[in-house]
Amino acid sequence: MFNKKRNRFGETLIEWTLRLSGGTTTLVIVLISIFLFTEGWGLFKSSTVEKGYVLCVNRSNKIQNLTPKQVKEIFDGNITSWKQVGGDDIPIEPLRMDDIASQYTEEEIGANFEHLPQKLSEAIAAKPGALAFFPEQFININFQGRVLPAETITLKEYFGGKEWFPTATPAAQFGVLPLILGTLWVSIAAILIALPFGMAVAIYLAEIASNRVRKILKPLIELLAGIPSVVYGFFGLIVIVPLIRSIFHLPVGETALAGAIVLAIMALPTIITVAEDAMRTTPLAMKESSLALGATHWQTIYRVVIPYASSGIMAAIVLGIGRAIGETMAVLMVTGNAAVIPHSLTEPVRTIPATIAAELGESAMGSVQYQALFMLGAILFVLTLGISIWAEIIRKEPKVQ
Amino acid sequence: MQKNKFTGKRANQAIFFSLFRLMSYLVVGILFCIIGFIVIRGIGVINWEFLTSAPKDGMTKGGIFPAIIGTFYLVIGSMLVAFPIGVMSGIYMNEYATNKHIVRVIRVMTNNLGGIPSIVFGLFGMSLFVNKLHFGDSLLAGSFTLGLLALPLIIRVTEEALKAIPDTYRQGSLALGATKLTTIRRVILPAAFPNVMTGLILSIGRVSGETAPILFTAAAYFLPHLPTSVFDQVMALPYHLYVIATSGTDLEATRPMAYGTAIVLIAIVLIMNLLANLLRRRFSK
């Protein structure tokens, strides 16, 4: 009697363990979204100017604030007058620490830079058009310039910004537009390359191939899915990249096209498997009635099987894109990683996953760049999650009758 | 009045079918092309010394032994995380859960987790295991990260394996007075065992080739010693290949090493796939 009771207790315990295990995947998805967003969200509370530094102007300057983009343009020499950023018509004189330090002798600055704050202050006061970029520690009470208030990075600058330059000083640029467009550019090109092949193989496997041939081909396609992405990247690097360089006479072969070709090969197994499964669900009665009406096998395939499987085929395409968007290593190795908005397939591009993989190792934990990269991860997470759910919905759509 | 076989709609069919066959063979041809190219170029460097010694002279000589060991540890660690949870999750979904909606939610979530890019797992692993739980860049953090990545595959395979077992097995066991748990332990699991093992083997193949999840959680460029505790960093085959293929002072000199590493990675995947297929074929009879 007692023994039985204990057994039942054991069963309940095990049942709860099983129940908990069942909840793991849900928990992990929730945790991933929480962690990515909390790590990334700090970005929008961070100052656009490098930590420990401030931007200062002459007291007579009426300018209230500058966006990171404007700061970068000024120091790059592309904006030369205060009028262009809403101030008076005076030329801008950018001042960096080095400019000041080189004007004075070591004696004048002092062995421990004790006179430097004084000199900085004088330099600012002397130039009405000055825009200075100084370490915060050198600003003292007698400072005769005006420190510009630190602006935080806005959502608009992050999502609409056309420049990704996280190591730029004085103001790092975190515009993700080129990365998002680069990712979509490469992925969609990859699917366009993969689709004809994927459909052909799916039709061949589902309708034409004998059982024997199918039994040989299926495991080989699975193997194609099993090869590690870093091996695809290596193959792309030593075969496809030099090939593209010599065919198109390019200075470098690491281009969007190289990425698209490698991704096409990698997305093929997904497209083939999902599309084939969809075609296989066509009821035999539908196919037989088509054949009985005198249609050939091919007519039956494109008039009956493909329309019937169309939602599954759409799901295959969507899942293929999802696979391509998230692929990291192979893309990192063959696309050249230039963060510019893509215009052609024969230029280098940079994708979101490749950016994370390339830059996270160099960014200090909690830094603005670190936060910007986690935000990229969050974008990628939402994008791929949305694609998974979208594919699921497409698959459930009512079949064409 | 029989028309010629190669006119009209029949000709059309013949053309399309041969086109599809050709394209199918082409796709398989790509596979052989990739594997063949790497094997032919790199088979020369594969020897006992390459497999059992550490890299020397800035990765241009020596072998990949520490990377093989590191990947081996990572595979063991990640399977210790993923296999029990995955199998239990599958059992819960197929044998215990009575609410259809819950099963549906779990299935959708499992599919979604399977669709999340590996680099996102890397970010998550870095922020949870490396930073929040203070595992540091370590075998432990890498194993957990890779384990979560492998989870959906194991759950899916387990669920399918359990589904394939006829209900008569369950009813027979219950009719003999066995409890549900005993039925699962003595009847269901032994019957599902080969298929569950297939899932395990396939996920080992998958995990051993993943680079992005271990970039920031476990992998090291070079270590003079083999890892001695779970808090040590490890070298790993896929990361090793990435590093020596893309960075280094003398890419030409490290190329043979890269080919050799790629061959070992491909060999692992090939062997795992072969094993899984053999197992599947043997027990499906």
**Distance between terminal CA atoms of chain A?**
61
Query: Tell me: the pLDDT tens digits for A282-295?
Result: 999 999 999 999 88
B203 touches chain A (CB under 8 A): no
| CATH homologous superfamily for the domain A53-151 | Periplasmic binding protein-like II (3.40.190.10)
Q: Which residue has the tokens 């460029």?
A: B221
Q: Check pLDDT > 70 for residue B2.
A: no
Per-residue pLDDT for chain A (401 aa), expressed as one digit of tens each? 445 555 677 778 888 888 889 899 999 999 999 999 999 998 888 876 777 778 888 877 777 777 777 887 888 777 888 778 777 778 887 777 777 777 777 777 777 777 777 777 777 777 777 788 877 777 777 777 777 777 778 888 888 888 888 877 777 888 899 999 999 999 999 999 999 999 999 999 999 999 999 999 999 999 999 999 999 999 999 999 999 999 999 888 899 999 999 999 999 999 999 999 999 999 999 999 999 998 899 999 989 999 999 999 999 999 999 999 999 999 999 998 888 888 888 899 999 999 999 999 888 888 888 999 999 999 999 999 999 999 988 887 765 55
Is the reported ipTM for this assembly greater than 0.90?
Answer: yes
Q: Is the peptide bond before A94 cis (omega within 30 degrees of 0)?
A: no
Render pLDDT for B63-112 as a digit per residue (tens, 0 to 9).
899 999 999 999 999 999 999 999 999 999 998 888 888 888 899 999 99
Residue range B242-259, pLDDT digits in tens: 998 988 777 778 888 999
Q: Are B107 and A365 in contact (CB under 8 A)?
A: no
Superfamily of domain A177-396: MetI-like (1.10.3720.10)
Q: Which residue of B has its CA nearest to A21?
A: B89
Rounded to an integer, what distance in angstroms lies between the CA atom of residue B68 and that of residue B267? 12
- For chain A, give the percent of residues with pLDDT over 90: 49
Q: Which residues are B62's β-sheet partners? A: B55
State the smallest CA–CA distance between residue A151 and chain B in angstroms: 27
Instruction: Report the CATH architecture of B63-283.
Output: Orthogonal Bundle (1.10)
Amino acid at A95: L
Domains of chain B, by residue range, sit at: 63-283
Whole-angstrom distance, CA of residue A46 vs CA of residue A68: 12
- Window 151-170 of B: residues touching A by CB (8 A cutoff) are 151-152, 155
Contact A26 B106 (CB under 8 A): yes
Q: Find the helix or strand (DSSP H, E) in which A96 lies.
A: strand A93-96
How many interface pairs between A and B have CB atoms less than 8 angstroms apart?
Answer: 246
- Measure CB to CB from residue A21 to each of B16, B85, B241 and give the nearest one: B85
Nearest to B205 by CA among B155, B148, B276: B276
Whether residues B115 and A268 touch (CB distance < 8 A) is answered with no
Residue B165 parent element (H or E): none
Which residues in B lie closer than 8 A to residue A43 (C-beta atoms)?
Answer: none
d(CA B169, CA B189): 11
Chain B: give the shortest CA distance to residue A47, in Å: 22
Nearest chain B Cα distance for residue A280, angstroms: 17
A53 to chain B, closest Cα gap in Å:
27
Find the mean pLDDT for residues B159-184: 90
CB contact under 8 A, B31 and A325: no
The residue extents of the domains of chain A are 53-151, 177-396
Nearest CA in chain A to B110: A25
Note whether A22 contacts B93, CB cutoff 8 Å.
yes
CB burial of A36-69 (b: ≥16 within 10 Å; e: otherwise) equals beebbebbeebbbbbeebbbbbbeebebeebbbb
Give φ, ψ of B55 to 5 degrees.
-65, 145
Among all chains, which residue has been given the structure tokens 């599809």? B20
pLDDT, one tens digit per residue, over A376-391 is: 999 999 999 999 999 9
